[in-house]
Amino acid sequence: DPLSLIGKMNLAMTLFCAKDFAAAEIHFRSVLEIDDNVAGSHWMLSRTLWQMGRKDEAMNEIFLGLKKDGNEILAERVRAISASSTHEEAIRFLLHEWRAVPPETNNLNMAYLTTYVNDSDKAVYWLEKSFDERHPWTAWISAYPEFESLYNKPGYQKLLQQMNMTY
């Protein structure tokens, strides 16, 4: 079904995990052409763009993802910091804000965003929390490009073993 948002998202997600970022971008954007209110597509497009080194565009999609999730004030603050400082500082701010509201914190999102500021120990920490809470998307961690930098970390290897995902 060419209008299936779920089908398009699944295809784009598969391409993202296969590191075919150009194709993933096309499909995430096609979801947004049908329905710009799909916050998940904005978030996944931001991840795709970040992997492509297009951080300005990625930050704009993070802004839109936050806004579509109903976090307009936080979105504006992240956008302002990104414009006046660095994208990494804006990510640090977002991480700090999310840590302040644990019930709303998605530990898997915390983990991948933490890789953007090169804090591998904290990324492993958030992945462990995601695993402990049995977040369903944790099953994808060995496929997510953001976590490739963690492969040599003992904590990450231990987590993969617990999940029966060792190579």
Write out the DSSP string of the chain: -TT-HHHHHHHHHHHHHTT-HHHHHHHHHHHHHH-TT-HHHHHHHHHHHHHTT-HHHHHHHHHHHHHHTT-HHHHHHHHHHHHHS-HHHHHHHHHHHHHT-GGG--HHHHHHHHHHTT-HHHHHHHHHHHHHTT-GGGGGTTT-GGGGGGTT-HHHHHHHHHTT---
Average pLDDT over residues 16-45: 96
Report the pLDDT value the prediction gives residue 103, as an integer from 0 to 100.
Answer: 65
Average pLDDT over residues 124-143: 94
Report the pLDDT value the prediction gives residue 99, as an integer from 0 to 100.
Answer: 84
Q: pTM score, two decimals?
A: 0.92
| pLDDT tens-digit map of 72-109 | 999 999 999 999 999 999 999 999 998 877 666 789 99
pLDDT band at 167 (very low <50, low <70, confident <90, very high): low
pLDDT band at 1 (very low <50, low <70, confident <90, very high): confident
**Which domains are present in the chain?**
1-86 (1.25.40.10), 106-167 (no CATH)
pLDDT band at 6 (very low <50, low <70, confident <90, very high): very high
Range in 81-85, 98-102, 149-153, 162-166 with the lowest mean pLDDT: 98-102
